[in-house]
Amino acid sequence: MPADHTPVDGPFRIHVEATPAGATLDMSHYLTAVLLNLAAAADEDGEGLLADLQHLAGLARQAVAQGPDSHAAHERDERMADLLAEVANEARVPVYGGQVLRLADALRAAGAPRSIPTQRQDGEAA
């Protein structure tokens, strides 16, 4: 797979790069849109957004202390889902048409077994 492989070019670009252990997905185009939506929400009601984020942080701390089935964990998850719906299309990245197959092919190629060069012993030819 080429070093620069972007099988999804819209509405949000997804870049796939093979790594020794698998692959990385570069979702920076989507995350930029999310951060711009957060910035717009802050511009509209900065104090309200800050209060919501601080409340989420408090719920996250409580959920860690109280456990995954606590009231705090459930409320954190609910509030996070609301925020994601507002600024991140519920955290869903659309992939359309032939891009679905290109993404699958890029991931398949990144996940394919690769030979690992062995170390040469002293004196062996390259």
The answer to whether 10 and 100 are in contact (CB under 8 A) is no
Query: In which element (H, E) is residue 62 found?
Result: helix 28-66
Q: How many CB atoms lie within 10 A of CB 20?
A: 6
Task: Give which of 91, 90, 94 is closest to 103, Cα–Cα.
Answer: 94
Distance separating alpha carbons of residues 89 and 11, to the nearest angstrom: 12
Give the model's pLDDT for residue 33: 97
The string of pLDDT tens digits covering residues 83-120 is 999 999 999 999 999 999 999 999 999 998 877 666 66
Alpha-carbon 119 to chain mean position = 35
Say which residue the tokens 């359309």 belong to: 96
Residue count (the chain): 126
The residue extents of the domains of the chain are: 1-27+94-112, 45-92
Integer angstrom CA distances of residue 68 from 60, 65, 73: 10, 9, 6
The string of pLDDT tens digits covering residues 35-80 is 999 999 999 999 999 999 999 999 999 999 999 999 999 999 999 9
